[in-house]
Structure 1
Amino acid sequence: MANRPESLNHRSARKAGANQLRIIGGQWRSRRLSVAAVPGLRPTPERVRETLFNWLQSDVAGSRCLDLFAGSGALGLEALSRGAASVIFVEKNKQAYQQLQANIHSLQAEGAQLFRHDALTVLKAEQVPFDLIFLDPPFHQDWPKRILDLIVAGALLHPASMVYLEHEMSYKLNPQDWGLEIYRETHAGEVYSCLLKPIVSTS
């Protein structure tokens, strides 16, 4: 979950439990973790995470994941709890980074790697495809298109990979421009969420 400018609807939707995160499934189910008090930083709501991981089902176990703009780490930690083999967390904000580091240590999450870097820098350095990529970038800054450009250019997806993306409802994006298609989608208030996967040729 990223540090982002939020609409009033988006902010109010995330107001409850703003400084706390609860893991909702897997080995750390019901564990509560602190979230850094950074303006605009909120864990992805439990109901949204539940929907996402219902979509993913067995695709999480054993997967190699990237949680870009990690913020609270809600998505990546949920993936690790549900059996992901590894998650690379990327968070630039110092306070959010330090709190996420403490939470990873508290959970003894051996599959976690945490980097305090710019998202673009990390993507340019990666060379091995991911099974799952979580993208919850700051709104109103055109991040999705820039990130998808680098993901595709760096060949960071294989045919069975999936990308979870959140962005504002008003944002215009055609996944087919990056060879992707919408597998699942939903929205809540001003927030649109979708699960993308590569378009695989049947010819």
Structure 2
Amino acid sequence: MKTRGKTSKGQVRIIGGERRGHRLHFVDQRGDLRPSSDRMRETLFNWLRAELADARVLDLFAGSGALGAEALSRGAEHAVLVEKKRERAADLSRQLQPMFGERVSVHCADALKWLARSAQRFDLVFVDPPYDLGLAEPACQALHELGLLAPDAWIYVESRKQSEAPAVPESWQLVREKESGDVRARLYRKTNVDKLKVQS
């Protein structure tokens, strides 16, 4: 969910899995929503191909819902989507619940405040906030400090290529990285820091 040119209506296509080809529609009145591109999502879900079955997923800055929907389509057990804007959250519920039923939960909330209240643990988290608000780093720290990640969880962080990459906890190991256009995509895995030190 990032800033790009101003638009009023848009759509994203689920590109794999049981709902491949289905389109999600969204209204972007302020022009502040930019879903991850098809190419970047294809790369990301190729990285995660073997990790999605039965995964518990958190799409923290849901926006269009593309990442959470893609994960569900490809076999995730359950996805929680958190979206601050009320009209977008309602739109996500309207479109995703008929497709995925009880496998999807949509929350209209500020992402950082929602994390502070959550008691769930996740196998895969998408951290893809608006680039210019400085939210990625505190979100990553909150996920770590509040114990919301399952052992060996995966965390996807997307940011602007021209800016410094958001700092992440020491226990997250960078596994994959790709740059495309103005986007930097990084996939981390939560690891045991003491174990890594012994192996190094």
Q: Same fold (TM over 0.5)?
A: yes
Who is 2:3 aligned against? 5
The 5 A counterparts of 1:47-66 are 47-66=39-58
Please identify, of 26-35 and 106-115, the stretch whose mean Cα deviation from structure 2 is larger. 106-115
Q: Is the 8 A contact 2:173 2:190 kept in 1?
A: yes
Equivalent residue for 1:124, pick from 98, 109, 116: 116
* Count of aligned pairs: 193
Who is 1:165 aligned against? 157
Q: Is the 8 A contact 2:172 2:189 kept in 1?
A: yes
TM-superposed deviation, 1:173: 3.5
The 5 A counterparts of 1:25-174 are 25-38=16-29, 39-173=31-165
Who is 1:196 aligned against? 188
Q: Please give the per-residue CA displacement for 1:132-187, whole angstroms capped at 9, x wherever unaligned.
A: 00111011222111111111111112331000110111332465644212111101
Please identify, of 29-38 and 59-68, the stretch whose mean Cα deviation from structure 2 is larger. 29-38
Please identify, of 35-44 and 156-165, the stretch whose mean Cα deviation from structure 2 is larger. 35-44
Q: Please give the per-residue CA displacement for 1:48-72, whole angstroms capped at 9, x wherever unaligned.
A: 1110000001201100010011001
Aligned partner of 1:168: which letter? R
Q: Is the 8 A contact 1:90 1:114 kept in 2?
A: yes
Q: Is the 8 A contact 1:175 1:181 kept in 2?
A: no
TM-superposed deviation, 1:98: 1.9
**TM-score for the superposition, normalised by structure 1:** 0.87
Please identify, of 165-174 and 79-88, the stretch whose mean Cα deviation from structure 2 is larger. 165-174
Task: Please state whether the residue corresponding to 2:49 is helix, strand or coil.
Answer: helix
Return the alpha-carbon distance in structure 1 between the equivalents of residues 154 and 134 of structure 2: 20
Return the alpha-carbon distance in structure 2 between the equivalents of residues 176 and 70 of structure 1: 20
Instruction: Considering Cα pairs closer than 8 Å and 6+ residues apart, tell me whether 1 or 2 has the greater RCO.
Output: 1
Q: Structure 1 177/134 Cα, relative in aligned 2: closer, same or farther at 3 Å? A: closer
Task: Please state whether the residue corresponding to 1:182 is helix, strand or coil.
Answer: strand
Aligned partner of 2:3: which letter? P
Q: Is the 8 A contact 2:19 2:73 kept in 1?
A: yes
Matched, 1:179 2:138: no
Q: Is the 8 A contact 2:172 2:191 kept in 1?
A: yes
Q: Is the 8 A contact 1:175 1:182 kept in 2?
A: no
Percent identity over the alignment?
35
Return the alpha-carbon distance in structure 2 between the equivalents of residues 105 and 155 of structure 1: 28
Task: Please state whether the residue corresponding to 2:53 is helix, strand or coil.
Answer: coil
TM-superposed deviation, 1:45: 1.2
* RMSD over aligned Cα atoms: 2.0
Q: Is the 8 A contact 1:80 1:109 kept in 2?
A: no
Instruction: Please identify runs of 4+ aligned residues in structure 1 that moved more than 6 A.
Output: none
Structure 1 gap segments, 5+ residues each: none
Aligned partner of 1:60: which letter? L
Return the alpha-carbon distance in structure 1 between the equivalents of residues 118 and 64 of structure 2: 22
